[in-house]
Amino acid sequence: MTSLRRRTAALIAAAGMLAGILLAGCSTIDPTTGPAPATSGSATGTVSTTPSPSATPVVEPAMTMTSQHVLTALLPTDTLNFTVANGAIADVAVATATGTAVPGTLTGRTWRPSRNLLPQTKYVATVTLTASDNTTRTRTQAFSTLKTTIADYDLLYTGFTVGVGMPAIIQFVHPVETPALRAEVVKHVTVTSSPKQEGSWGWIDNRQLMWRPKTYWKSGTTVTIAADLAGVQTGKDAWIAKDARGSFSIGAARISYVNIATHQLTVTENGKTVRTIPVTAGKEPDYTTRSGIKVIMQRYSHIIMDSTTVDIPKNSPDAYHLDVQYAMRLTWSGEFLHAAPWSVASQGVANVSHGCTGMSTANAKWLFDFSHAGDVVVYTGSNRQMTLSNGIGVWNASWSQWQALKSV
């Protein structure tokens, strides 16, 4: 047994030596340099170590924004223009400094607001740029519109029921100075009515713009005025800063007729005579009441009438200072319908007033309670004529004459 163990141990040792020799014969290792580098085809799956070229660096896009005027004093009509280097402009969004979005259109490198900007307002443009690698960048640029006179205006008689003769009226605080500026204003204002009626704008003077239908309004009509005037210029250094909306309703067709020569006032409603009232009108030749179509503008249960306001001095024998009841203004020059208890004896007989139409207190109260602003009063019988601008004189122009006033 001892001999057998010695022979077995010897065989095992011999086999180990042979395996070492075989392994040494298959090795590519140089004992002086270490293992050879692996290749892409090696069993280990490692990749070649040959370096790859570097990625091209992205140059950041640069943007410049300009306009027709300096960015701290743009006109409301200006556009935004962009110059971009190392990229392209993708989008422009504009808002006020308080965050209200401003609609507009980007065409090429020019952004144009959908409507004029507001004067004296701060804005921010947010610009999206595309870089050379098709990634995007955002840039912001602040700008503001010029400091200027703010031109104001009012829509008159909105919210009320008025008579069939009341036009839509836009009253400007300051003059709209030139025909071109007045024409631009007209482009931004509209009147709609239900039921629809044909009509047109006309300038009475450079502060009064009115829209009248071709004929008197139909009773029951609703009239709506839309003034999109924010950003519209009215003078060299004056711009409007607001839009406005308003509407009024048309009541019954109440039209009165005053015959100055016969001293009678006939009141009608929807074409039927309601009452005939004896009156006195202006004495000739200095105070003749005007013939023509007038519209009731204002109503006062009491008003102080002072002759100095119509250029009759205090020391004149015609001077007066009276507390008058139930007065309704027809002209800016001082013609009213009103109670005149001091002239009852002349009413229906003679014209003795300073141009007003006087009647008894009872008749004046009845007419006052019956009437609305906008009711029509037609005067005949004198050689002195009503004018377009002396009150609401729009009905004293023919339809063609009125249409021609749209662009004056």
pLDDT tens profile 306-336: 988 888 888 888 888 889 999 999 999 999 9
Residue 234 is predicted with a pLDDT of 98
Rounded Cα distance, 343 and 168, in Å: 36
343 and 392 assigned to the same domain: yes
Domain that holds residue 155: 150-251
274 and 164 assigned to the same domain: no
Residue 54 is predicted with a pLDDT of 57
User: What CATH number does residue 344 fall under?
Assistant: 2.40.440.10
pLDDT digits (tens, 9 = 90+) for 249-300: 999 999 999 999 999 999 999 999 999 999 999 999 999 999 999 999 999 9
Peptide bond into 195 cis (omega under 30): yes
Q: Using 50, 70 and 90 to split pLDDT, how confident is the model at 53?
A: low
pTM over cut 0.85: no
287 and 354 assigned to the same domain: yes
User: What CATH number does residue 131 fall under?
Assistant: 2.60.40.3780
Q: Are 376 and 167 in contact (CB under 8 A)?
A: no
317 and 391 assigned to the same domain: yes
* Catalytic machinery residues: 338, 356
DSSP string, 200-214: EEEESSSSEEEEEES
Domain count, the chain: 3
Rounded Cα distance, 318 and 297, in Å: 26
Helix%, strand%, coil% for the chain, nearest 5: 15, 40, 45
171 and 188 assigned to the same domain: yes
Rounded Cα distance, 319 and 311, in Å: 10
Residue 55 is predicted with a pLDDT of 63
Residue 3 has pLDDT above 80, yes or no: no
Residue 8 is predicted with a pLDDT of 40
246 and 259 assigned to the same domain: no
pLDDT digits (tens, 9 = 90+) for 166-212: 999 999 999 999 999 999 999 999 999 999 999 999 999 999 999 99
Is 385 contained in some domain? yes
